[in-house]
Structure 1
Amino acid sequence: MDEASLYEHILGISKPWFVEHIELIKDTVHVYVCCDNNLKLSCPACGKQCSRYDAKPRTWRHLDTCQFQTIVHCDVPRTDCPEHGALQIDVPWAQKKGRFTLMFENLVIDWLKELSINAVARRFNLSWNAVDRIMRDAVERGLRLRKEPDIKHLSVDEVSRKKGHRYVTVISNQQGQVINVQSGKDKDGLIRFYQGLTQTQLAAIETISMDMSPAYIHATLEQIPDAKKKICFDKFHVIQDLNKAVDGVRKTEMTNIAIDHRKSLHLSKYIWMRNEKNLTETHQQIKSQLSKVAIKTARAWAILQYAKTLWGYSYAKSAEKAWMKWYSWATKSRLTPMKTAAKSIKEKLWGIINAIVKNRTNAMAESINAKLKIIKVRAKGFRSETRYKTAIMFYLGGLTLKH
């Protein structure tokens, strides 16, 4: 096999394309590809056979040959279409208007899955914008080719993009695939997502797990049929609200107990937020000692622990009866933060019961949130919301990214 045939095989080309010659200039391999002059050209717009108008020289970066950078050169023919004028025909080794071969872009995509744009740009001696363009093109291509995703069980969660209360709303399914990303965490963003679905898709949604955000609740109630039977309030966020209430009781009580115990109570913040079975022996001792002096905090903690046991019911009536018993205890506890949290939970109890009976949580969405934090750290932040959305879909959209 001669060198021309070798590079034809490497580039994956065949008649009417062929490698004319190859040059090694300094540390770069230049591969010159030609098109058979006898080829009958078809207009890229309408497909009609046309005569050749001229040929336009173009270059593409290809995979390195050993340690040498490889550049592909070709005078690409242009058709002379009576209707559409002079249009350049497509080449089999690169996409239209691309500056890199398909194989090279696929390699960059593989590296992007492991490294940041800056690192990949340094690895291939490319500009940041060139690598970013490859990522954006891959996401756009993946979204065009994506089959209809599973939206029976959705999760909705807000994710912080940067400091200053900059958020995006991430909609995902039970497989951990990000379906859509909307700007902000308000009602309008989620409504835009719902309005992009067909009536058949809206009717196919069985559950929507979310926190108790009024914006998400109102958007879902407005757009989804029988939404009150489908909205599931996530256990994590319910317990999170109760943790905040326990901490509120601890802060209030810290000013009322003896000075000798204030520092210990101050340092015990996260002990009161832990599940009882996860407490170490040292934590158990500290909690046991503080329970004798911080009586209100201990009572709030007991109310929290009881709430954690109310998620194992199979029937709505049994679950509601248990939660109302808990509500009675919480509201009679004479602990203002716990009473406030209990009243909020009672208002949203219908969604909590849905989550219990349908066994739905936002665990997968929280997993996505954790992965996004890693992506932000790796990228050292994102300078625009568009870039952040693209990165989310690239890494977590479950898209076919390669050519």
Structure 2
Amino acid sequence: MSAAIPKGILGYARYKLKQISYSKESIEINVELERDSRHNHLCSVCNQKASPERRKERTVKDLLFHGWKTFTKVEYYEVRCKQCGIRVEHIPFIRPCARATKRLEEAVAWLCQHLPLTVVALYFSLNWKTVKNIDKAYLEHRFEAPGLDNITVIGIDEVSYRKGHKYLTCVFDLNDPHLIWVGLGKNKETLSKFFEQLGKERCKRIKAVAIDMSKAYIEGVKEHCPHALIVHDKFHIVQDFNKVMDRIRIDEFKKADEEYKGFFKRTKWLLVMNPLRLKEDGKMRLSQLLNINMPLNTAYTLGEQLKQLWECVTVAQFNKALDNWCEMAYESNIKHLMDFADMLKVHRSGLWSYCLYPINTAILEANNRKVGLIRRKACGFHDLKYFILKIFQADNPLPLPLPVP
């Protein structure tokens, strides 16, 4: 059997192997390639035939070879393209102006979505900043132009990227659930940038928008998509009601006699958790609390009934059920519940619209958890653009890079 390595395995398409040298001291392998003159010069932008102008050389990093650092030196040409002008020649295994081969970029990017930069840098014997630059360049190329066509239903939510009320606005396509846009801030101006990028014609195709009850988001949607239905999904309404429940719990704790204060401790999550997921001890403590405190009992009962609103099929059913719920909230004479009922009435149209477009922002909340994981794994991000690219990557993970035949 021949000891020669088949050309296809090396992955240097359109090039010939000129020389291989190595250094035991630095544990490096240097591969030198020359163009295969049988192939035409191609423009790296349009991939069309072009005329060579000036010969150049570039040395790029390649994958490790049995633990040895590998550098590949290639010759290439600046070419004159009839359509694009002066451009860099197309090299199948290196992106224009890149300092690493495509396969190294893919391997680094794939590992960076699972491991900290410092660990990936240690594995490839690279500086962590080099790893970050490789990963960032690869992600910029992969997510440079997210598709904004054929979008009719979207979801909008904010996500925290740093302490101190620093937020990003994320927009999802809910028909084919995936992230399509991320912008800095969570105000009307931020959302306007998305709609401006979307364009007036595509804005007209938006039929429904799932959002929370943020005034800024509501105003932004109404300004750019006045015909679209605003949908306040169940998740955010129940989340807001849970905050009301906690405020009632705190008020009742302050008013309770000393002998009953112990029943309120460590019950914050018992009041908002799904009863079916509670253990026996939790069920017993919750039952004791509700038995000794009527306001909390009333709020808890109304909370369970609130969730049933989204089981209504028609707008008429929803409005009737909502009116009944608000009436019970007013009859309770509990200020927090009465204020919450007022808020529901203000946003009534965004609630009953769920019957026409049963959409929600669950995928956005899942995205928020992914973003939190990314931030904790990296111990924070100083490069916001890189952080946004990592958010896109979390929504659309990179496949495991495999050899290309």
AA matched with 1:237: H
Provide the C-alpha distance between the structure 1 equivalents of 2:308 and 2:50, rounded to a whole number of angstroms: 73
Contact (CA 8 Å) 1:145, 1:400: kept in 2 or not? no
Distance of aligned partners of 1:48 and 1:299 in 2 relative to their CA distance in 1, 3 Å threshold: closer
Distance of aligned partners of 1:269 and 1:117 in 2 relative to their CA distance in 1, 3 Å threshold: same
Provide the C-alpha distance between the structure 2 equivalents of 1:322 and 1:41, rounded to a whole number of angstroms: 70
Distance of aligned partners of 1:130 and 1:339 in 2 relative to their CA distance in 1, 3 Å threshold: same
Match of 2:285 in 1: 286
Provide the C-alpha distance between the structure 2 equivalents of 1:8 and 1:70, rounded to a whole number of angstroms: 18
Contact (CA 8 Å) 2:43, 2:50: kept in 1 or not? yes
Counterparts of residues 238-317 of structure 1 (less than 5 Å) = 238-317=237-316
Match of 1:115 in 2: 115
Contact (CA 8 Å) 1:178, 1:398: kept in 2 or not? no
Following superposition, the deviation at residue 51 of structure 1 comes to 6.3
* Residues 156-180 of structure 1 deviation map (CA, whole Å, 9 limit, x = unaligned): 1110101111110111123441110
Query: RMSD between aligned alpha carbons?
Result: 3.0
Following superposition, the deviation at residue 350 of structure 1 comes to 1.1
Distance of aligned partners of 1:401 and 1:336 in 2 relative to their CA distance in 1, 3 Å threshold: same
Following superposition, the deviation at residue 148 of structure 1 comes to 4.4
Match of 1:191 in 2: 192
* Residues 275-327 of structure 1 deviation map (CA, whole Å, 9 limit, x = unaligned): 34434332332233223331211112112121122210110011100110110
- Identity across the alignment (%): 25
AA matched with 2:63: L
Distance of aligned partners of 1:399 and 1:223 in 2 relative to their CA distance in 1, 3 Å threshold: farther
Distance of aligned partners of 1:266 and 1:145 in 2 relative to their CA distance in 1, 3 Å threshold: closer
Match of 1:18 in 2: 16
Counterparts of residues 129-278 of structure 1 (less than 5 Å) = 129-144=129-144, 146-148=146-148, 151-174=151-174, 175-227=176-228, 230-278=229-277
Contact (CA 8 Å) 1:155, 1:173: kept in 2 or not? yes
Distance of aligned partners of 1:37 and 1:165 in 2 relative to their CA distance in 1, 3 Å threshold: same
Counterparts of residues 83-122 of structure 1 (less than 5 Å) = 89-122=89-122
Following superposition, the deviation at residue 343 of structure 1 comes to 0.6
Distance of aligned partners of 1:71 and 1:312 in 2 relative to their CA distance in 1, 3 Å threshold: same
Contact (CA 8 Å) 2:110, 2:400: kept in 1 or not? no
Specify the SS of the correspondent of 2:292.
Answer: coil
Provide the C-alpha distance between the structure 2 equivalents of 1:297 and 1:40, rounded to a whole number of angstroms: 78
Provide the C-alpha distance between the structure 1 equivalents of 2:131 and 2:144, rounded to a whole number of angstroms: 20
AA matched with 2:70: T
Provide the C-alpha distance between the structure 1 equivalents of 2:369 and 2:267, rounded to a whole number of angstroms: 26
Match of 1:64 in 2: 64
Provide the C-alpha distance between the structure 1 equivalents of 2:45 and 2:317, rounded to a whole number of angstroms: 65
Provide the C-alpha distance between the structure 1 equivalents of 2:96 and 2:367, rounded to a whole number of angstroms: 34
Contact (CA 8 Å) 2:44, 2:91: kept in 1 or not? no
AA matched with 1:194: F
Contact (CA 8 Å) 2:370, 2:394: kept in 1 or not? no
Count of paired positions: 396
Following superposition, the deviation at residue 7 of structure 1 comes to 5.5
Distance of aligned partners of 1:163 and 1:301 in 2 relative to their CA distance in 1, 3 Å threshold: same
Contact (CA 8 Å) 1:276, 1:305: kept in 2 or not? no
AA matched with 1:101: T
Contact (CA 8 Å) 2:143, 2:389: kept in 1 or not? no
TM-score (norm 1): 0.88
Counterparts of residues 374-389 of structure 1 (less than 5 Å) = 374-389=373-388
Provide the C-alpha distance between the structure 2 equivalents of 1:57 and 1:390, rounded to a whole number of angstroms: 31
Contact (CA 8 Å) 1:80, 1:87: kept in 2 or not? yes
Contact (CA 8 Å) 1:143, 1:399: kept in 2 or not? no
Provide the C-alpha distance between the structure 2 equivalents of 1:69 and 1:125, rounded to a whole number of angstroms: 7
Provide the C-alpha distance between the structure 1 equivalents of 2:79 and 2:49, rounded to a whole number of angstroms: 10
Provide the C-alpha distance between the structure 1 equivalents of 2:156 and 2:311, rounded to a whole number of angstroms: 23
Following superposition, the deviation at residue 38 of structure 1 comes to 9.0
* Residues 44-88 of structure 1 deviation map (CA, whole Å, 9 limit, x = unaligned): 7998865664x433211122223322211234345699xx99975
Specify the SS of the correspondent of 2:265.
Answer: helix
Which shows bigger deviation, 38-47 or 109-118?
38-47
Distance of aligned partners of 1:200 and 1:59 in 2 relative to their CA distance in 1, 3 Å threshold: same
Provide the C-alpha distance between the structure 1 equivalents of 2:16 and 2:182, rounded to a whole number of angstroms: 44
Specify the SS of the correspondent of 1:314.
Answer: coil
Match of 1:337 in 2: 336
Distance of aligned partners of 1:106 and 1:305 in 2 relative to their CA distance in 1, 3 Å threshold: same
Contact (CA 8 Å) 2:41, 2:90: kept in 1 or not? no
Following superposition, the deviation at residue 197 of structure 1 comes to 1.0
Provide the C-alpha distance between the structure 1 equivalents of 2:336 and 2:371, rounded to a whole number of angstroms: 32
Provide the C-alpha distance between the structure 2 equivalents of 1:146 and 1:335, rounded to a whole number of angstroms: 48
Unaligned regions of 5+ residues in structure 2, if any? none
Unaligned regions of 5+ residues in structure 1, if any? none
Provide the C-alpha distance between the structure 1 equivalents of 2:255 and 2:145, rounded to a whole number of angstroms: 63
Contact (CA 8 Å) 1:61, 1:71: kept in 2 or not? yes
